[in-house]
Amino acid sequence: MDNRSEVRAFLSSRRAKVSPEQVGIPAYGSRRVAGLRRGEVAALAGVSVEYYTRLERGNLAGASDGVLDAIARALRLDDTETAHLHHLARAAGRPAARPRREKAPEIRPAIRRMLDSMTGVPAFLRNHRFDILAGNALGLALYAPMVTASPARPVNSMRFMFLDPHAQAFYAQWPQVARSAVAALRTAAARHPDDRQLMNLIGELSMRSEPFRGWWAAQDVYVHRHGTKRYSHPAIGELELAFEVLELAGDDNLTVVTYSAEPGTPSGDGLELLATWAATSRDHSGQGALAGRGDGGVPDVRLT
C-alpha cells in the first residue's frame, strides 16, 4: 500500500464524518463538502490551513505526536483511529523499505501446552495476518468449517470469511463480523507496511471479494479485544460466545483468542455438546485427520 494514499484517504474520510454542529461550528448556507472543511479542522487543531492541507495530502513525515493528537481531537477520532494515525505517521517517517517475506514464527512448546490445557474453552493462536497457527481440540471443533475448508496451511480466517461460500452461514452475523474483520486487517496493515505476505493477502481479497473492496474503501479501523460472536455450527447449531483476545508479550505478533459461554445457558450447553462431538468425531475418524472432507469433522492436524 502507498502510505501517502492511505493518509489522504483516511484523513479525508474521517473529516467527512464530522458535522459542523458536532464541533460547535455554525453552518450557514450550502456546503460543498461533506463534514468539515480543511480550514475548520486546522482551526480546531491549532495549525495553519496550509500545514493541515499538506498533512491531508499524505505528507505526515515529521508531524509531532502533539500535532497528531490535536488533529485526532479535531476529527473526533477514537483511541483505535488515533493509534492508526500515529502508525501511518511512523511509516511515513521511515525510509522506503522493500516488502519482505517474514519467516513463520516458532510456536514454543509452552504455548502449545497452554492451549491444550484449556480444556473447557475453545482457544487458538493466530498471527497479525489472521493465520490460525495452532488450536486446542475445542477450538478446532468450533472452527471445523474453516479448518476443513482447504488443505492449505496455515488456515487464514480472512480468506475463509470472504472467499468461502460457507462462511456466511457459519457466522450468524456475517456482515457485522466481516466489516469489523476488514477494519482489523487495515489496522494490521498500518502496523506492518513492509509485510509482503500481508499485502498480498489484501490484494487477493480486494480482487476476489466485492464486499471486501467496499468495506476496505471505507477506511475504518478496529482492534479485536473482547466481545461476543454468534455462530451457526453445522453439527451443534446456534452458539453465542464471548471472546477474549490475549496478546503474547514475549512473542511478537502472536495472539491467543479464547471463547466461552455462561454455564447452564443454551450456548454453555452447546459448548459441552461441542466437546462431546469433537471426541466422538475423532474416535470415529480412525486416524483422526478429517481435513479436506468438508463435512465439518474435527481435524486432528497441525495448522502450521
Instruction: Grade residue 106 by pLDDT with cuts at 50, 70 and 90.
Output: confident
The answer to the question of residue 103 being in a domain is: no
**Same domain, yes or no: 114 and 77:** no
**Same domain, yes or no: 185 and 255:** yes
Residue 284 has what pLDDT? 52
Q: Rounded to whole angstroms, how far apart are CA atoms 190 and 90?
A: 9
CA nearest 303: which of 198, 180, 157, 171? 157
The answer to the question of residue 296 being in a domain is: no
The answer to the question of residue 215 being in a domain is: yes
Residue 286 has what pLDDT? 41
Identify the domain boundary among 30, 63, 93.
93
Q: What is the CATH number of the domain that holds 47?
A: 1.10.260.40
Q: What is the pTM of this model?
A: 0.84
Report how many domains make up the chain: 2
Does residue 242 surpass a pLDDT of 60? yes
270 - beta bridge partners?
none
**Same domain, yes or no: 59 and 170:** no
Q: Are 229 and 171 a contacting pair, CB within 8 Å?
A: yes
The answer to the question of residue 56 being in a domain is: yes
Residue 98 has what pLDDT? 60
Higher pLDDT, 108 or 241: 241
CA nearest 278: which of 232, 216, 236, 239? 236
Instruction: Grade residue 301 by pLDDT with cuts at 50, 70 and 90.
Output: very low
**Same domain, yes or no: 177 and 241:** yes
The answer to the question of residue 294 being in a domain is: no
C-alpha cell at 34: 461533506
Higher pLDDT, 98 or 229: 229
Residue 143 has what pLDDT? 94
Q: What is the CATH number of the domain that holds 275?
A: 3.30.450.180
Structural Rg of the chain based on CA atoms: 22
What average pLDDT is seen over the chain? 87
The answer to the question of residue 298 being in a domain is: no
Task: Annotate 266-297 with three-state secondary structure.
Answer: HHHHHHHHHHHHHHHHHHHCCCCCCCCCCCCC
**Same domain, yes or no: 142 and 276:** yes
In the predicted model, what is the mean pLDDT of residues 102-120? 85
**Same domain, yes or no: 149 and 271:** yes
Residue found by looking up cell 494514499 in the block: 5
Residue-wise pLDDT tens digits, 55-66: 999 999 889 999
**Same domain, yes or no: 278 and 152:** yes
Identify the domain boundary among 45, 62, 93.
93
In the predicted model, what is the mean pLDDT of residues 87-104? 70
Residue-wise pLDDT tens digits, 196-228: 999 999 999 999 999 999 999 999 999 989 999
In the predicted model, what is the mean pLDDT of residues 230-247? 95
Dump the DSSP string for 74-103.
Answer: HTT--HHHHHHHHHHHHHHHSPP---B-PP
The answer to the question of residue 141 being in a domain is: yes
% of the chain exceeding 90 in pLDDT: 70
The backbone torsions φ and ψ at residue 34, rounded to the nearest 5 degrees and listed phi first, read -75, 135
**Same domain, yes or no: 15 and 129:** no
Q: Are 146 and 163 a contacting pair, CB within 8 Å?
A: no
**Same domain, yes or no: 167 and 274:** yes
The answer to the question of residue 304 being in a domain is: no
232 - beta bridge partners?
238
Residue-wise pLDDT tens digits, 21-47: 888 888 776 777 779 999 999 999 999
C-alpha cell at 134: 495452532
Enclosing domain of residue 256: 109-284
**Same domain, yes or no: 74 and 144:** no
**Same domain, yes or no: 82 and 132:** no
**Same domain, yes or no: 64 and 114:** no
Does residue 282 surpass a pLDDT of 70? no
